[in-house]
Amino acid sequence: MMRLFFEVSYKGTNYHGWQIQQNAATVQEKINNVLSTICQEKINIMGSGRTDAGVHCEQQFFHADIDTHLSLNDLLYKMNTMLPFDIAIHSIREVNKEAHARFDALSRSYEYRINTKKNAFTQNTSYYFNKILDVRTMNQAATLLINGEQDFECFSRVKTEVNHFRCSITQAIWEEKGEILIFKISANRFLRGMVRAIVGTLLDIGLKKITVVDFEKIIASKNRTEAGRAAPPEGLFLTGVSYPKELFI
């Protein structure tokens, strides 16, 4: 029996998020079914986190305890052959028995992608938003997110069951690349709905509906109703998860 770490990417358009739910197609369910078929026993994978319905992922990890005669290359090939085209396994690595895809993650990174001009090819993979934005002021506000460990309950989905709302954000910046506007954010952990709530609130700043001072007050309020609406899911990508090197064999 080996504990394996799997690196996966997926387009979230056709799924009701990562985590298994009743009467809804999820990424975790598809992978569980494929691994269970290959191994001829019930396999339940554990992801490094969960994404909401319609959210995409360029790099996610999950672990599973596998007993198989297949080489890791053969397992990789079989999984990709059996999985839907919008889910791809990129690598499989053996880890020590105590390694945990969720709890051992050091940091996670997301990008939120906005198309400022209509694009026929990015309907499900970016947010079309053609209003004029003050990106400079949006970045000024974003720097307030980077201040060591802070309580971000104001950006958390309500009725979320967590021990605390504190996160340490290490990157938060808007970058303009032609017609594309990208918000990049990294932290040790994220709350449910956090990135989309931050993006929606920063867009209000870009539209001059609120000020940087207002943004600071929103963080201090710890009240979700004070922050802006959540940006739509199709623009959000989980882009990376990092781990200590010593986990891997």
- Strand ranges in 37-195 using DSSP code E only, listed in sequence order: 46-47, 56-66, 87-95, 107-115, 127-128, 149-151, 166-177, 180-187
Both tokens of 54, joined, read 């319609």
Distance CA 71, CA 75 (A): 6
Distance CA 129, CA 145 (A): 23
> How many CA atoms does the CB half-sphere of 109 hold within 13 Å?
15
Give the dihedral sign, CA 52/57/63/66. positive
Q: Are 61 and 243 in contact (CB under 8 A)?
A: yes
Distance CA 41, CA 124 (A): 35
Catalytic residues: 52
- For 112, residues 6+ apart whose C-beta sits below 8 A from its C-beta are 127, 182, 183, 185, 195, 196, 199, 231, 235, 236, 237
